[in-house]
Amino acid sequence: MPGISCVTADEPGKGLHASTGMEDPPDFTVIPDTQWHAIEQSVDRGIRYMLDRQNADGSFGVHELEQPAVTSLVCMALISRGHAPDESNTASGASRAIVRGIDYVLSRQRKDGLLGHSPQSLASSEYSKFMIYNHAICGMFLAEVYGMTNPKRAKRIELSMNKALSFVRVLQKRSIPAAAEARDRGGWRYLDGPTHGDFYSDLSVTSWIVMFLRSAENAGFDVPIEWAQQAIAYVLRCYDERSGAFSYAPGHPHMVTRGMVGAGVLCLFLTGHKEPEMEQRCGQWLLKHPYDRYNHKLSTHEHYHYGAYYQSQAALQIGGRTWEQFYPRFVDTFLTHQNGDGSWEPELKRPELGRVYTTAMSVLALTPPYQLLPIYQR
């Protein structure tokens, strides 16, 4: 981006890339071959369920408002199992579905760079809230597929990504009241003001945008170090020393959830910000709050499948004992409760999002060990 000093991936310890990694790699042998086979079968059944429900315009999902994000999650779930975008005569149904998903997401960009917008979605009272999730998740998806597509489509993605990244920075630099500046600067939240509480940033939105930025940098886009530094400073303020876990926003320990603990840990690893004590305490917290009861919320703030997605990734990044004790139990819960048609039940907190959404999140939560989706890689 002209006028901004950018840091590339070739500079160790800077930008969003970790200078070291794999200090405590996960031991995949704790999963016996029979369980790996069961995981693969489960994932493939979930994928078949989702493919049968792609809409005529290439989208996935029930409602206009959240379809861009759900489409992106479904397509990333397909990629996490080894499917790649391809529209040739010999391409599989999954590969063609990803291409149609890419074109759909590209069609939903506003002139200012916002991804996920449509005139119809403006009518929703939750436009501001859902649209920032659309933007971050769609941006992450486009970055993940950027190097997998033909030159013509890659050029379209490149133009879209540059606008989407600029939009992210505009939001990060938005005006914040002086009283909230020290608490909320560096993170992101909804498109409008603090109409849902007094927050101007939250860890839920911020973590998705951090993943988008890391994925963009992986794909070769320039992400200035200032963006990363400000984002991770906000994430660190969300850490609650008392509980040894991350909360939804700074100073709100009652809003610690499994999803936010996983999101905070993941942000640390994705930005190369080594905090061994934080990681260890979060790993201990994670193991004390397992996914043994399917679709069970620990609090009113929790989204079950959303949290499972983040905790599975976080456990893999922490590695060692944390992953070895978390993942096998987690797998048993999810495989046991998969429906006969390959789906998983709707989210208790947001049932209107339907089963395609929870199936995509469940597949993404099961597949980090495959290390096929670039954002998953340690």
Q: How far apart are CA 68 and CA 61, in angstroms?
A: 8
The per-residue pLDDT for 4 is 26
Residue 340 vs residue 14, higher pLDDT = 340
Quickly state the pLDDT bin for 194 (edges 50, 70, 90). low
Quickly state the pLDDT bin for 15 (edges 50, 70, 90). low
First to last CA, the chain: 28
Please name which of 90, 92, 94, 67 lies closest in space to residue 80, comparing C-alpha atoms: 94
The per-residue pLDDT for 192 is 81
The per-residue pLDDT for 3 is 27
The per-residue pLDDT for 360 is 98
Q: Determine the 3-state secondary structure of 241 from DSSP.
A: coil
The per-residue pLDDT for 195 is 58
The per-residue pLDDT for 295 is 95
**pLDDT tens string 206-240:** 999 999 999 999 999 999 999 999 999 999 999 99
Domain positions in the chain: 39-376
Across all residues in the chain, what is the average pLDDT? 91
Quickly state the pLDDT bin for 376 (edges 50, 70, 90). confident
Q: How far apart are CA 178 and CA 218, in angstroms?
A: 35
Quickly state the pLDDT bin for 21 (edges 50, 70, 90). very low
CA separation (Å) from 196 to 53, 128, 169, 327? Answer: 33, 11, 22, 34
Which positions ≥6 away from 82 have C-beta within 8 Å? 370, 372
For the beta carbon of residue 218, count every other beta carbon within 10 angstroms.
20
Fold of domain 39-376: Glycosyltransferase (1.50.10)
